[in-house]
């Protein structure tokens, strides 16, 4: 199609259809994380395509080559002749290609159903998430945790501890941050967080909300210039001024010079351009040999060899590079802090997911792995989606519709809140009683420093649990502190007493 006006009309139509399709897709409620993320990527693709069409429209309206003006002039001068010329061209095209089928834009813009949308949207996102990421629900920092341990920046910590403090780079010693290994670690951490943010939240503009935004860069530059950036307070780049030569007049012998700080002697040698290697005695002898002599009179073997390309400004250039490297690392840290703020909910969900996995028994691990295989193999059933979204329908524990009388019989209308579990709601007395032996409640009790024993069943308030624990300690309840009632868990997840566990261990039955 060589008509400029017809191309403009098509671009206008395509933009209108793209915007309408993105709006319709955004108004849908998706039952799974996979469908939601795929829909966001599909919406982003449509908006990017609309932006490309808008750019082509602006170029056509600018009419830099004058073709649009010429076409308008032709149509206004002899419209009948122009019309029949276009008609002849269209007839000639269809005569040459009689089986050409017009392809409507609705085919790849507006999906017909959820399953079709999932197939189309997965073209851009299929395989972009690892198994640990749960299609954008969790972070996968296992490799970065290993890299952090190899840095030797502090104590070796577990993965759960790393998830809680991986963004606390300001607590690390900035004297150790000058290494290339630390810079690579920070760069890898920033690259992963940025890549995850763009994959999990495709509709959010990373350039406007992250540390690369203009306001964030301005704030960083101000804090860095004032020496107030977190973790780098009071940092000063190495001085570019050469260290002054050591005054040798107060020293009458090599022994007296050897008693001086070895680093000061070494700095004096470097200031004179002499070799600074060897033992402290050798350095003192070399420096004392310059007393009362000019540098030109010294033996050439005293002087350090200059590297190729080294000149008088080498120290200043090295200092500048060192200062730029420190600022570059600090800027990456600032962007990591900003990204961690944006991903705080994802980080909390990741920590909770890891703790839940660590509390699973062998049977639970095997059962969950089987469920994952089934979910990956089966396709989404569109017929089940509307029933799950219907209003005024009561659900059981698994989210399936049940009769109302059965709903009341099981007490699912009552919701119990457990403060120890982080105000987690439990629907029905059955789920409420079961949660006292589950990982979430056990973790909450462990955080309070209280054993999760039978004495604390039905205790949901933190203060009540603390008061009961203090009362049990004051009464010296032997049943509570009896060592014989310590419980152990075998490899199959069975909980037994200490005596039974030791008997089974001696018989080799564990």
Mean pLDDT, residues 54-79: 80
**Cα atoms found within 13 Å of the Cα of residue 381, Cβ hemisphere only:** 7
The DSSP bridge partners found for residue 425 are: 417
Q: Can you give the pLDDT at residue 120?
A: 44
How many residues are given for the chain? Answer: 510
Count CB-CB contacts under 10 A for residue 111: 21
* Spatial separation of the C-alpha atoms in residues 354 and 82, rounded to whole Å: 71
Q: Can you give the pLDDT at residue 259?
A: 78
CB 440 within 8 A of CB 424: yes
* Spatial separation of the C-alpha atoms in residues 199 and 29, rounded to whole Å: 20
Strands 424-427 and 487-489 come out as: unpaired
Phi, psi for residue 135 in degrees, rounded to 5: 55, 45
Phi, psi for residue 66 in degrees, rounded to 5: 80, 10
Count CB-CB contacts under 10 A for residue 43: 20
CB 267 within 8 A of CB 243: yes
* Spatial separation of the C-alpha atoms in residues 349 and 139, rounded to whole Å: 9
Q: Can you give the pLDDT at residue 237?
A: 52
- Chain position carrying tokens 């002599």: 293
- Chain position carrying tokens 């259809």: 17
Q: Can you give the pLDDT at residue 418?
A: 93
What would the two tokens of residue 123 be? 């073209």
Residue 145 pLDDT > 80: yes
Question: Which of helix, strand or coil describes residue 427?
Answer: strand
Q: Which long-range contacts (CB under 8 A, 24 or more apart) does 486-493 make?
A: 489/361, 491/362, 492/361, 492/362, 492/363, 493/361, 493/362, 493/363, 493/364
End-to-end CA distance of the chain: 78
Q: Can you give the pLDDT at residue 419?
A: 92
Q: Which residue has the higher pLDDT, 277 or 465?
A: 465
What would the two tokens of residue 374 be? 């089934």
DSSP string, 9-52: HHHHHHHHHHHHHHHHHHT---SSHHHHHHHHHHHHHHHHHHHH
* Spatial separation of the C-alpha atoms in residues 57 and 414, rounded to whole Å: 59
CB 50 within 8 A of CB 18: yes
Please give the mean pLDDT across all residues of the chain.
Answer: 76
Q: Can you give the pLDDT at residue 222?
A: 82
Q: What is the CA radius of gyration of the chain?
A: 36
Mean pLDDT, residues 358-372: 64
The DSSP bridge partners found for residue 426 are: 416
CB 493 within 8 A of CB 362: yes
Q: Can you give the pLDDT at residue 104?
A: 54
Q: Sign (positive/negative) of CA torsion 77, 80, 85, 90? A: positive
List, in order, residues 6 or more apart from 50 with CB less than 8 Å away. 14, 15, 18, 19, 22
Label residue 369 by pLDDT band (50, 70, 90): low
Say which DSSP state 300 is in. Answer: G
Spatial CA neighbour of 355 closest among 158, 131, 129: 158
Mean pLDDT, residues 40-66: 86
Label residue 117 by pLDDT band (50, 70, 90): very low
* Spatial separation of the C-alpha atoms in residues 315 and 312, rounded to whole Å: 7
The DSSP bridge partners found for residue 1 are: none
Spatial CA neighbour of 490 closest among 468, 471, 467, 509: 509
Q: Sign (positive/negative) of CA torsion 165, 167, 169, 170? A: negative
Q: Tell me: the pLDDT tens digits for 252-286?
A: 787 877 777 777 777 777 777 777 777 888 888 88
* Spatial separation of the C-alpha atoms in residues 357 and 440, rounded to whole Å: 11
CB 418 within 8 A of CB 460: yes
* Spatial separation of the C-alpha atoms in residues 372 and 215, rounded to whole Å: 43
Label residue 121 by pLDDT band (50, 70, 90): very low
Q: How far is CA 433 from CA 30, 417, 436, in A?
A: 32, 12, 6
């Amino acid at each position: 199609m060589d008509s400029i006006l017809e191309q403009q009309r098509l671009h206008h139509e395509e933009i209108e259809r793209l915007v309408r399709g993105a709006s319709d897709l955004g108004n849908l409620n998706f039952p799974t994380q996979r469908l939601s993320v795929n829909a966001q990527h599909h919406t982003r693709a449509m908006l990017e395509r609309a932006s490309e069409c808008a750019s082509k429209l602006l170029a056509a309206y600018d009419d830099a080559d004058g073709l649009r003006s010429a076409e308008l002039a032709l149509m206004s001068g002899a419209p009948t002749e122009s019309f029949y010329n276009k008609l002849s061209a269209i007839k000639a095209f269809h005569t040459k290609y009689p089986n050409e089928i017009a392809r409507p834009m609705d085919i790849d813009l507006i999906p017909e159903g959820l399953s079709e949308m999932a197939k189309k949207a997965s073209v851009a996102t299929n395989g972009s998430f690892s198994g640990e990421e749960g299609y954008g629900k969790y972070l996968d920092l296992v490799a970065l945790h290993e890299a952090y341990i190899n840095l030797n920046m502090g104590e070796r910590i577990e993965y759960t501890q790393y998830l809680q403090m991986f963004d606390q780079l300001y607590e690390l010693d900035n004297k150790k941050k000058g290494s290339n290994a630390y810079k690579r670690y920070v760069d890898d951490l920033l690259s992963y967080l940025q890549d995850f943010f763009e994959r999990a939240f495709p509709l959010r503009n990373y350039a406007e909300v992250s540390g690369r935004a203009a306001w964030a860069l301005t704030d960083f530059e101000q804090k860095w210039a004032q020496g107030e950036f977190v973790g780098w307070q009071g940092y000063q780049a190495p001085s570019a001024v050469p260290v002054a030569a050591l005054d040798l007049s107060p020293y009458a012998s090599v022994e007296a010079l050897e008693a001086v700080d070895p680093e000061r002697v070494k700095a004096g040698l470097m200031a004179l351009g002499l070799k600074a290697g060897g033992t402290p005695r050798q350095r003192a002898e070399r420096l004392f040999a310059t007393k009362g002599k000019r540098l030109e009179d010294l033996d050439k073997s005293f002087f350090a060899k200059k590297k190729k390309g080294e000149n008088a400004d080498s120290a200043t250039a090295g200092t500048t590079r060192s200062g730029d490297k420190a600022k570059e690392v600090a800027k990456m840290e600032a962007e990591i802090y900003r990204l961690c703020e944006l991903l705080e909910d994802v980080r909390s969900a990741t920590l909770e997911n890891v703790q839940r996995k660590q509390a699973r028994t062998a049977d639970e691990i095997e059962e969950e792995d089987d469920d994952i295989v089934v979910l990956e193999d089966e396709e989404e059933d569109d017929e089940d989606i509307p029933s799950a979204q219907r209003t005024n329908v009561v659900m059981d524990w698994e989210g399936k519709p049940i009769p109302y009388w059965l709903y009341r019989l099981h007490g699912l209308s009552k919701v119990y809140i457990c403060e120890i579990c982080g105000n987690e709601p439990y629907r029905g007395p059955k789920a409420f009683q079961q949660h006292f032996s589950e990982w979430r409640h056990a973790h909450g009790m462990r955080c309070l420093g209280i054993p999760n024993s039978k004495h604390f069943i039905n205790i949901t308030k933190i203060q009540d649990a603390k008061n009961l624990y203090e009362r049990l300690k004051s009464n010296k309840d032997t049943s509570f502190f009896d060592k014989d009632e310590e419980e152990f868990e075998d490899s199959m997840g069975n909980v037994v007493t200490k005596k039974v566990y030791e008997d089974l261990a001696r018989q080799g039955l564990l």
